[in-house]
Structure 1
């Protein structure tokens, strides 16, 4: 599939950010900076960038959670529900800071971002300088009715599906969540939106990882990202029972048979270490300690406030 990526050169090294998968790749040849259209299979074949070796002064990508509200109450959620939610005016100011920050990839998450009426406008504003790509991470409940609005606004949609079966997914996400998510995935695919499924990998659902790949191929999505649980927010309460080690997770994913054309990624806690998040109250933080805690709370009053220290802590 030909789709949109964002590129920039750091000290002579050209990095390409994939908004669907969330990965960063080293381009083997010079590519103009900014938003570019490339073959996703070709990009996937390029070496993944080791960002710690590039001595960056700003993050390559970040997550922005402009909303705390959610129609679900998942026990593995890493959000802090006590955070104050930004107003519409504050969101407009924050998106302006993001657009001017030089960050290549922005994933708009939550809470549930599809509860925001101004989500398409925020996504377009994020890309207004033609330097960044934007994705949206959603539980999929409202995706079927809003997929058309997202066309031309986001470059990819990431849908949470924490099981290959309705019983497993709904156990974690609530009754009817699976049916709504699948309907949303189908609607987004029909609209031509690049879709990536995301499963929070846990003791309770790892046995369905292979079946999820087969389901993904059947639904016509681009790939699946397996996310290692982070013991942050509500997820801290179930972490001892449900977390896999990064080695256990890697062994489980390496044992899978990947259908042709499907992109599969494991986001370990190690790879999530140092990642930047902008909360709904306008404060930015980094994952630290092997992505087991957060630090560096900065109020974001300008683009420079998103340039948190990028040195990765030991994990």
Structure 2
């Protein structure tokens, strides 16, 4: 499948998986169309080996409000949200910074009426690819407008059927999410299904992979749970990275579906912009956060040697 990526010389960022690959040859700078099978074959260097002054990608959570209350949520719901004017200022900053990817998350970003404007502002900067991470509740309704401004969409599922998914996310959430996935696929938006890997979800991982393949998703990602935000209370649900790798190695992967495990060590130093406009980075171990400061301009995203620059 040929779709949109962002590149800067040898680095190519995939908006669906959130991974930055190293190409064997220099690529044109900016948003480019590539074959995703070829990109997937390229290696993924560690963040410290990217040799960049700014992160390759960031997660921006402009909203903490959500219609669901998932126990494994990373968000701090006490953080105040900025005004619409300030959200648009931050979108403008992200459009100007030499980022390869911006994932708009939350909270639930589809609750923002100005989501498409924010995404378009960033994408129109010409440097970054833009994705959205959503619980999918409002996706079926908003898929047509999102198709005009997104390069990929990531939908969170915690179980392969209503009984197991809704037990974590709430009644009706599975049906709304899967209806949204089908709508996004119909609109031609590359879809990545992702799940937070915990002891309670590890046993359903194969069924989730099969569901992702059957519903038309491009890929599936299992994210190691991070003890940040609400999920800090679920420390007993955490798998070690070694345990997660064993679970993942046992999966039967359907033809054409790309699966990915994001281990906890791979989440170290990841950059997040909170709803209050402050920037923080996961510590190297991804067990806590640090470096909290306001995002006023592009220089506030510059990495330091402590953040893992080369």
CA contact (8 A) 1:97 1:302 kept: yes
1:88 to 73, 84, 87: 84
Q: Work out whether 1:201 is the aligned partner of 2:201.
A: no
Name the structure 1 match of 2:208.
Answer: 212
2:256 to 244, 256, 261: 261
Q: How far off its partner does 1:289 sit? A: 4.3
Please give the TM-score of this superposition, normalised by the length of structure 1. 0.96
Give the number of equivalent residue pairs.
Answer: 308
Name the structure 1 match of 2:218.
Answer: 222
Q: Work out whether 1:4 is the aligned partner of 2:10.
A: no
Q: How far off its partner does 1:308 sit? A: 3.7
CA deviation map 1:96-135 (0-9, x unaligned)? 1111111110000000000001101100101122110000
1:271 to 259, 266, 272: 266
Q: Work out whether 1:168 is the aligned partner of 2:167.
A: no
Deviates more, 1:159-168 or 1:275-284: 159-168
Name the structure 2 match of 1:187.
Answer: 183
CA contact (8 A) 1:296 1:308 kept: no
Q: CA RMSD in A?
A: 1.1
Q: How far off its partner does 1:310 sit? A: 6.2
Q: Match of 2:59, SS?
A: strand
CA deviation map 1:196-237 (0-9, x unaligned)? 001000100101111111111110110100000000000001
| Whole-Å separation in 2 of the counterparts to 1:83 and 1:310 | 28
Q: Match of 2:32, SS?
A: strand
Q: Match of 2:220, SS?
A: strand
1:155 to 151, 158, 170: 151
| Whole-Å separation in 2 of the counterparts to 1:93 and 1:58 | 19
CA deviation map 1:273-299 (0-9, x unaligned)? 000000000000000041110000110
CA deviation map 1:16-69 (0-9, x unaligned)? 000000111111122101000011111101111223123321100010000110
Q: How far off its partner does 1:269 sit? A: 1.0
Alignment of 1:1-315 (within 5 A): 1-9=1-9, 14-239=10-235, 241-309=236-304, 311=306
Inter-CA distance 206–175: structure 2 relative to 1 (3 Å threshold) = same
| Whole-Å separation in 2 of the counterparts to 1:251 and 1:105 | 30
Please give the TM-score of this superposition, normalised by the length of structure 2. 0.97
| Whole-Å separation in 2 of the counterparts to 1:263 and 1:44 | 8
